[in-house]
Chains A and B, each alone.
Chain A
Amino acid sequence: MSILIRRIATVLALSLPLAAVAQGNLEINTPAITSLKGAMQSRHGQLAPYYASGAVGIARDGSIVLRDANAIPLAQRQTATGLVAAENNDRAALYREIARANGHPEWEAEVRSTFGQRWADKAQPGWFVQNAAGQWSQK
């Protein structure tokens, strides 16, 4: 009985979005999004070496994590912690702003998970990404 219901649920889940997905683009050209993008882009130069060394990894939930601070010289860890916090703050704001710019603030979680997937997919070889089970692997 429950299996049947789950199957129905799955079928519905699979078929409904196909019908509903619009071909259009999402609005991502608001001043807030542009500003967040710019801030993240200029921060990337500082974060890139940490991605490469595995100190910072791409988390599943669309954020980044200081996963192995031992790869960073002691005196720089405070700065790295601050960078990660600032990046995650901007990323959270970005997901919120995209959802809001498209008139659906409630989409925030989906925007976040979409980004989570895409950051991981686009991560460069050698970077660490987190899988759905929470484990880290190197691309």
Chain B
Amino acid sequence: MQRIPACSSTLRLYAFVVAAASLTLPGSGGAQSVVLSLGSLDAGVLRIDDLRLVLANLRGGPADLSLARLTAAGQVWRNLSARCERIDLTREGLACERGEIRLPAADAQAKALVIPLRFNWRSATGAFDLALEPSAGETWRVAGVQAAGGRTARLVFDHADFGRLRPLLPLAKDWQFGGRVSGEAIVERAPRDTTVKANLTLDETRFADAAGAHAGEKIAATLKLDARQQGSRWSWQAAVNWPKGDVYWAPFFLASPGVALTASGTFDGKQAAIGAMRIEGPSLGQIDASGIFDIAAGKITTASFATGMLDLQQLAPGFIAPLLESLAGPKLAWTGQARVAGEIRDNAFQSANVTLRQVALREAGGHYALEGIDADIPWRDDATTEAQVNIVRATLGKLPIGPIALPLRLRGQALRLSQAKIPLLDGEIVLDDVRFTRGSERSNWRAAIAVTPVSMEKLTEALGWPRMSGIFSASIPGIHQDGSTIALDGALVVQVFDGFASVTDLKLIEPFGRVPRLFADVELRNLDLEMLTRTFSFGTITGRIDGDLKGLEVAGTRPLRFDARIESSPGDYRKRISQRAVQNISALGGAGAAAAIQRSVLRVFEEFSYGKLGMTCALRDGICEMGGVEPAPNGYVMVKGAGVPAISVIGYNRRVDWEELLARLRRVTEGNMKPVVK
């Protein structure tokens, strides 16, 4: 828009040259060269110092124009010169058919830049026509006509490299840009208003900021602009079509998105207002936006935007995935539709509305998935709102959960869920009083979770484990997060094998990290050994067992340390052990665990009676320090015989590699993991 005063001052400059020439030349005539020192000229945005014109002949012929210094838009050029092979200087005007501008190079080695030019000015009509051809096939042309109603300037570009304008735009000094622009812009200046109509085609356009976080290459686009100035206020309408080219706008990369943008608005030097902007593209869907930008303060005064129903499958690879990736978030596959709308005031979100329809997301590693998400989430910065999120089905590993209905209360940075009951197999997960507050440093949340009885048959079946009977329940009145540690108050209780197991002092470290750590204490009480051994195809042991797993620490799926002890439960009950179970226990104890004397006896009987059995393992650094129910010479007693026929199993290996122990256990139960029908 600033072209206009520049054009008119160019006009004035030439008028001044002619007037000065006629004044300073008394009738000396002749064919001597004439040197005109025209002094300095200051036209506000443009300042010229020490302007000289050397004319070989007053009627015409070669002419040289030189200026010591040109200052425009904060930039300074020194020692510029222009030469015209044959200048026509008449009463009708001034014309130069073949001239050139010479711009000295920045350093001595480089060549000076020479730009061919044509110029024509008619004094009667005030019409002028200036054409610059900085390179072959590149033309910048400005033509002006003075009419009664005002002045019209026509700018015609043919493959004009607009990167040349960079020195003129101090605001763009941190940006590199260039490209070819073709087309025309018409500026009509009337007494009451000014209108600009531009129709431009951009090709091979590139731009980049200093850090390369925002850059584009090989962009082809068309720009149509209609603008009108009344007083200090411009109103404008623009349409941009961007069918081709790559843009990286951190963290998004858009390759030939085929985006079309239409917008209209006003501009008055202090405020830029966009009344209606619509962006459309196949990978983007449709976005409408409007807003007011305060230029002096550099902030968004107000703005609002709304998308149409966006296809997440289309949108995710270009927009959601890179955003999550830039936050080192999970890799998710998305389908479904979403609509987002929001309002911004003074650079801060005032409200937002998110609508999800039939959205499904699946974590790339298959750890979790959500299907059939329908959500209506209104959010206000300054008011409490109710949001509803419904999920038809969630899958955690192999475990199906749901349907889930979450009535959420939102206010500012806080979220609250008073209660949600989520079906889990034949039981329920009950979330109570979930509170989440997003802080600037770290977020914090708390919740109470209970799991009402779920049958172990269904749970183990869903998880693909050996089938167990019993029930699983949990009561966790408090979950606390401290940094990357989540601690659970309360207990997980599994009623299984006719006894129970409880897990307390649960702590998760880096639950979402590369190697999540779990800390817990586990207590097993009164488990029915017969059910247990049958389930794990360990042979048959009749009896009951207690166990303690203290200070359990698991990294990923690998236990790092614990102090484990299992031992026959106190009390009076039948204690029998099958031949196979004896062999298996012996195998666990390592080579030579069973005393040799008993081997012959083993073959004779199917079943033996025992007094007590048990084992201890203190796991440290991958080594299990083993023990039994009581010490034996050079070893420890794992099964202590009593009654008839009695059998004892004695272990001699005190230190067993944990991996080796697991391998033994696997060998013992291998191939026998069939579900056992009770």
Instruction: Note whether A and B contact each other (Cβ less than 8 A).
Output: yes
A75-B246, A82-B251 known; A32+B328 contact, CB < 8 A = no
Please provide the chain A residues from 51 to 98 with a CB less than 8 Å away from any CB of chain B in the complex: 55, 66-72, 74-75, 77-78, 81-82, 85-86, 88-90, 93, 96-97
A32-B510, A32-B513 known; A82+B322 contact, CB < 8 A = yes
Whether, in the assembled complex, A30 has its beta carbon less than 8 Å from a beta carbon of chain B, the answer is yes
Q: Bound complex: CA of A36 vs CA of B560, how far in Å? A: 17
Q: Which of B211, B325, B510 contacts A69 (CB 8 A)?
A: B211
A81-B326, A85-B325 known; A69+B250 contact, CB < 8 A = yes
Q: Output the least CB separation between B24 and chain A (Å).
A: 53
Q: Output the least CB separation between B332 and chain A (Å).
A: 14
Main secondary structure of the interface of B (DSSP, over half): mixed
A74-B253, A75-B246, A100-B509 known; A68+B326 contact, CB < 8 A = no
Chain A residues with Cβ below 8 Å from B556 are: 31, 35
Query: Which of B212-220, B371-379, B609-617 lines the interface with chain A?
Result: B212-220
Whether, in the assembled complex, A39 has its beta carbon less than 8 Å from a beta carbon of chain B, the answer is yes
Binary interface profile of B, 316-336, with partner A (CB < 8 Å = 1, else 0)? 000000100111100000000
Cβ B328 vs Cβ A70 within 8 A: no
Q: Which of B211, B327, B514 contacts A67 (CB 8 A)?
A: B211
Q: Bound complex: CA of A75 vs CA of B560, how far in Å? A: 44
Q: Bound complex: CA of A32 vs CA of B517, how far in Å? A: 8
A31-B515, A32-B513 known; A89+B215 contact, CB < 8 A = no
Q: Which of B211, B248, B509, B514 contacts A78 (CB 8 A)?
A: B248
Cβ B513 vs Cβ A81 within 8 A: no
Q: Output the least CB separation between B57 and chain A (Å).
A: 53
Cβ A69 vs Cβ B212 within 8 A: yes
A69-B248, A75-B253 known; A82+B325 contact, CB < 8 A = yes
Chain B residues with Cβ below 8 Å from A68 are: 211-212
Chain B residues with Cβ below 8 Å from A86 are: 325, 328
Chain B residues with Cβ below 8 Å from A75 are: 246, 253, 255
Cβ B322 vs Cβ A71 within 8 A: no
Cβ B326 vs Cβ A70 within 8 A: no
Please provide the chain B residues from 488 to 524 with a CB less than 8 Å away from any CB of chain A in the complex: 509-510, 513-515, 517
Cβ A89 vs Cβ B248 within 8 A: no
Q: Bound complex: CA of A65 vs CA of B410, how far in Å? A: 35
A81-B325, A82-B326 known; A90+B514 contact, CB < 8 A = yes
Q: Output the least CB separation between B533 and chain A (Å).
A: 32
Q: Output the least CB separation between B555 and chain A (Å).
A: 4
Whether, in the assembled complex, B299 has its beta carbon less than 8 Å from a beta carbon of chain A, the answer is no
A30-B555, A69-B211 known; A74+B251 contact, CB < 8 A = no
Chain A residues with Cβ below 8 Å from B216 are: 74
Q: Bound complex: CA of A31 vs CA of B558, how far in Å? A: 9
Query: Which of B210, B509, B513, B514: most chain A Cβ within 10 A?
Result: B514
Cβ A69 vs Cβ B213 within 8 A: yes
Q: Output the least CB separation between B621 and chain A (Å).
A: 9
Q: Whose C-beta in chain B lies nearest to the C-beta of A82?
A: B325
Chain A residues with Cβ below 8 Å from B558 are: 31
Query: Which of B212, B327, B509, B510: most chain A Cβ within 10 A?
Result: B212
- A-B pairs with lowest CB-CB distance, top 5: A69-B212, A70-B212, A89-B328, A82-B325, A31-B555
Excluding A35-B515, A74-B246, 19 further A-B contacts by CB distance (< 8 Å) are A32-B514, A32-B517, A39-B514, A67-B211, A68-B212, A69-B248, A70-B208, A72-B212, A74-B248, A77-B253, A78-B252, A81-B250, A81-B322, A85-B325, A89-B328, A93-B510, A93-B513, A96-B484, A97-B510
CB pairs A–B below 8 angstroms (9 shown): A32-B515, A36-B515, A69-B212, A69-B215, A70-B212, A75-B246, A75-B253, A85-B325, A97-B510
